[in-house]
Amino acid sequence: MSYVTIAVSPGSFDPLTLGHVDVIERARKVFDEVIVAVAVNSAKQPLFSLTERLEIAREALADLDGVRVEPAQGLLVDFCRSVGATAIIKGLRGGADFDAELPMALMNRHLVGVETMFIIGDQNLAHIASSLVKDVARHGGRIDDLVPSGVADRIHRALRARAHGQENGRTS
Ligand code: PNS
């Protein structure tokens, strides 16, 4: 008999960073399949649309065997059930991540009994967060060594478009 283990690696991925890629690669060493679930965090206002976040993640992860990227709207636990995942994978950079993740892990277990497993990412990438990357870019800093190839350009374009939209909004 053969067993297939499936894990879901969820996040808003606004956008996917090298820190995310590291955790996804580590998860894939443990699970037969890792499904990257691009989800909605109702506490955040994303820079990229869901379609764009999916496109960015799919492009960046295209070469990883056993990894696929899917949208997950609604409750994450319903998505996990629909794909037959036995675990949710979250990356930890430090204690603040754990504090944020613990209530979600307990809630998801309460809802359907799904387990959350934590992976410690590469220490050299522990300073990378999508929100910080966007902030550095917004203020003219260099971000191309923080995100997969091509993503820095997309961030700059999206920020320009947003700034342009806000300017037009103010003057009209
Ligand atoms: O990358 P993020 O923003 O920290 O990811 C958080 C995310 C999207 C995984 C979380 O907000 C989530 O699971 N959203 C889906 C809706 C849901 O299931 N909410 C209850 C979480 S206990």
Each residue's pLDDT expressed in tens, for the chain with a length of 172 residues: 678 999 999 999 999 999 999 999 999 999 999 999 999 999 999 999 999 999 999 999 999 999 999 999 999 999 999 999 999 999 999 999 999 999 999 999 999 999 999 999 999 999 999 999 999 999 999 999 999 999 999 999 999 999 988 878 754 3
Give, as one character, the DSSP assignment of residue 123: G
Query: Hey, which residues does 35 pair with through a beta bridge?
Result: 8, 68
Ligand 1 mean position to 150 CA, how many Å? 26
Q: What global pTM score does this model have?
A: 0.95
pLDDT value of position 170: 55
pLDDT value of position 82: 97
Q: How far apart are CA 52 and CA 136, in angstroms?
A: 20
pLDDT value of position 169: 72
Choice among 12, 20, 28, 90 that is catalytic: 20
Place of tokens 């794909």: 83
Ligand 1-lining residues (CB < 6 angstroms): 10-12, 39-41, 44, 75-76, 104, 107-108
Q: How many CA atoms lie within 13 A of 28 on its CB side?
A: 16
